[in-house]
Amino acid sequence: MTGDVQLRKGDLSLDAGYAQYNRSNSTVMLRDNVVLRQPGILLRGQFAQIDTNKGFGELEQAEILSFDTGARGTAGRISRPSYSHFELEQASYTQCTPDNETWSLHADSIELDYDSGRGVARGTTIRVYDIPVFYSPYLNFPVDERRATGFLFPSFGIADSSLDISTPYYLNLAPNYDAIITPRFIEQRGEALETELRYLNKYSEWAVNTSYLANDKKDDIDRWLLGVSE
């Protein structure tokens, strides 16, 4: 089939410039502006091989968009071995909007598992305003808002021409208390460590925050902060 090809099966929607359907195994080969839609997800590519019974398969020169989180990525190849699992090769990933892309991950490979709510990137460079600022051979990160122990996405800022990078690590200690440990690098001041412990019971909730900056390079003093809120 050529031209404006449209295929519909259950909640699966496929569009392409060309399609070749194999009835024996219910797979379809598509090329030229391929678009796959299913609830919560949009995939685009220039070539695809898709199982029309499940929506699983592979796309090349591909893009992915999660409607639930707004996260999006690009890849030389995207594989979908199961409904909620995506594997990206030579990929980029961000949760920023297209008109304000503050940061992005660029990696040899990225796995997105929407069942567990976690992603794994290997051979990763983090870019801020498209400038490489951090490299890691392995990075585990959240893909949604669920509580799970692991790194949260780094935060970045620039003030007074000084780069400020924080890399928070979240600890899901119990249903009613958790902690965040955040190493922080401030270009003109040095390295700091921040912690936050949060506790909740049926009567109240409170948080303890600490921050320590040893030997502030700008003012040549140690800085610390302790705060308790209820």
Q: Which residue has better confidence, 131 or 34?
A: 34
- Round to whole Å and give the CA distance between 83 and 75: 18
Query: What confidence score (pLDDT) does residue 73 get?
Result: 96
Query: What confidence score (pLDDT) does residue 2 get?
Result: 67
Condensed to tens digits (0 to 9), the pLDDT of residues 131-144 reads: 887 888 998 888 88
Mean pLDDT over residues 190-206, rounded?
91
Residue 29 clears pLDDT 70, i.e. is over it: yes
Q: Which residue has better confidence, 223 or 122?
A: 122
Mean pLDDT of the chain, nearest integer = 89
DSSP of 161-215: TEEEEE--EEEEEETTEEEEEEEEEETTTEEEEEEEEEEE-SS-EEEEEEEEESS
Q: Which residue has better confidence, 18 or 151?
A: 18
Query: What confidence score (pLDDT) does residue 152 get?
Result: 81
Residue 149 clears pLDDT 80, i.e. is over it: yes
- Round to whole Å and give the CA distance between 207 and 179: 9
The residues, any chain, with a CB within 8 Å of residue 220's CB and separated by 6 or more, are none
Query: What confidence score (pLDDT) does residue 160 get?
Result: 74
Condensed to tens digits (0 to 9), the pLDDT of residues 3-17 reads: 688 888 888 899 999
Condensed to tens digits (0 to 9), the pLDDT of residues 38-49 reads: 999 999 999 999
State pTM to two decimals. 0.76
Query: What confidence score (pLDDT) does residue 62 get?
Result: 97
Residue 156 clears pLDDT 80, i.e. is over it: no
For tokens 């920023």, what's the residue? Answer: 96
Residue 34 clears pLDDT 80, i.e. is over it: yes
